[in-house]
């Protein structure tokens, strides 16, 4: 079983990987000292459990919001994609195009929280190249311009 400090360290590392923020920027965002972030990232003692829980919650909330935006963009891409010659464009076609199992993409696009957050980051980066956008755009909230239909 993973303890709270290890979970916090994993959440911080994932947050850093997704955002590209330095430890100093993360400390500013979470309103804690730089040494606190460093201590937490290495799962060392010396930080109160309350702080550990607060940082973990903020990291996970930001990560889930970003992934929700990515899920919405990928769903829109699949829905709006031109049909293939013999059938409509499906999740399986998208998965084949990025080289991932269709089951993994189905899980990511599902509404089941136990399955939706298991897509590895490299698969999202490959999705970006297929969608023709960068990772920052993929995880950013959709705007009205993203829903404009061009005829």
Domain that holds residue 125: 64-147
With a cut of 80, say whether residue 116 has pLDDT above it. Answer: no
The whole-number pLDDT of residue 95 equals 87
Give me 138's structure tokens.
């993929």
pTM of the model: 0.57
The CATH number that applies at residue 75 is: 1.10.260.40
The answer to whether residues 72 and 119 belong to one domain is: yes
The whole-number pLDDT of residue 148 equals 60
pLDDT (tens digit per residue) in 1-36: 467 778 788 778 877 877 778 888 888 888 888 888
| Dihedral sign (CA 67, 69, 74, 78) | positive
| φ/ψ (deg, to 5) at 45 | -75, 170
The answer to whether residues 78 and 135 belong to one domain is: yes
pLDDT (tens digit per residue) in 120-141: 666 777 788 888 888 778 878 7
Query: Could you give the number of structural domains in the chain?
Result: 2
The answer to whether residues 116 and 141 belong to one domain is: yes
The answer to whether residues 68 and 141 belong to one domain is: yes
The answer to whether residues 114 and 142 belong to one domain is: yes
């Amino acid at each position: 079983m993973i303890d709270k400090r290890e979970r916090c360290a994993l959440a911080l590392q994932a947050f850093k990987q997704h955002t590209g923020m330095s430890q100093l920027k993360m400390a500013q965002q979470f309103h804690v000292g730089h040494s606190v972030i460093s201590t937490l990232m290495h799962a060392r003692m010396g930080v109160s459990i309350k702080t550990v829980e607060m940082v973990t919650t903020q990291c996970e909330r930001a990560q889930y919001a970003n992934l929700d935006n990515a899920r919405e963009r990928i769903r829109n891409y699949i829905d709006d994609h031109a049909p293939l010659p013999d059938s409509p464009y499906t999740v399986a076609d998208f998965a084949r195009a990025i080289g991932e199992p269709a089951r993994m993409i189905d899980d990511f696009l599902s509404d089941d929280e136990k399955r939706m957050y298991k897509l590895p980051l490299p698969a999202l980066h490959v999705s970006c190249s297929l969608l023709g956008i960068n990772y920052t755009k993929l995880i950013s909230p959709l705007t009205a311009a993203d829903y404009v239909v061009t005829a």
